[in-house]
Amino acid sequence: MQEKLIYLFSAVAVGWAVTFALRLLPFGLFARSSRKTQTSLAKFGEIVSPVVIGGLIVYSFSTLKLDGAPAWRTFWPYLAVALTVALHLLFRNSLASIAGGTVFYMLLVGFLGCTSLPSSIEFDARNPVVRISGAGVTFAGQFVAPEKVPRLLRHYDIPLERTIHIHISGGLHDLRPARQLMAILCRAGYRRPVLVTERTARSEAVKPDTGKFVRPPVEPRRKVYR
């Protein structure tokens, strides 16, 4: 708690120091420079700021999340951005454009339940599945080296206490890579990695529309190795 407060205070202090220093800059540094230098500086600023703001749009896209998964892979944020730009070009009222775009996005993801693209529905942050097949390890549709799986899970904000299914494809009879992966996850602090074979995994499928975890029937549970 105390560490957190110190961190927050120092974050605000750093932000303030940098911002204030930037504002102070012309009064100290350029106060005595010639008018020509000042106009060229102002011109430089005019060109630099759209570039910076463009970069910030990309940054803010990377922070958008939908149920723990990055939202830039879906097209809802792009729709909302398009609406924001259209509103702004039409009415030239910043407040209306920002509010319109944000409310539209909130409606999309909050009330209309637009979460992810149909193609990526297999990834659900509440029920993460790491798949092992003869070709290698995949998570959320992408191939990943076994030792990099914890980092990927952290990237998707999956908490340590969540059950992580290590799904072994039907063709794979060697359990050693799966057990190695389990050890890697345990070492990284994930408390509940579970090995699942093809059959149990199918019975433990997640309902895509609700995202709810369906309890498997008792029978295939014998196939789960802990």
Q: Which residues are CB-neighbours of 22 under 8 A, at least 6 positions away?
A: none
- Is 89 a binding residue for other proteins by CB under 8 A? The answer is yes
Degrees to nearest 5, angle at CA 176 with 134 and 206: 65
- Is 108 a binding residue for other proteins by CB under 8 A? The answer is yes
Q: How many residues sit in the footprint of other proteins (CB under 8 A)?
A: 66
Q: How far is CA 85 from the centre of its chain?
A: 24
With respect to other proteins, which residue has the nearer C-beta, 66 or 137?
66
Please list every residue from 22 through 81 that binds other proteins, using CB under 8 A: 22-27, 30-31, 38, 41-42, 44-50, 52-57, 59-61, 63-65, 77, 80-81
Instruction: Please identify which residue in 69, 70, 74, 84 interacts with other proteins, judged by CB under 8 A.
Output: 84
Paired tokens of 51: 């570039």
Q: Indicate the DSSP class of residue 210.
A: T
Stretch that binds other proteins, among 97-105, 135-143, 162-170, 199-207 (CB under 8 A): 97-105
Q: What is the spatial distance between Cα 102 and Cα 111, in angstroms, rounded to a whole number? A: 13
Q: How far is CA 127 from the centre of its chain?
A: 16
Task: Using DSSP bridges, classify how beta strands 192-197 and 136-139 pair: parallel, antiparallel or unpaired.
Answer: unpaired
User: Binding residues for other proteins, per CB under 8 A?
Assistant: 1, 4-5, 7-8, 10-20, 22-27, 30-31, 38, 41-42, 44-50, 52-57, 59-61, 63-65, 77, 80-81, 84-85, 88-89, 94-95, 97-99, 101-102, 105-106, 108-111
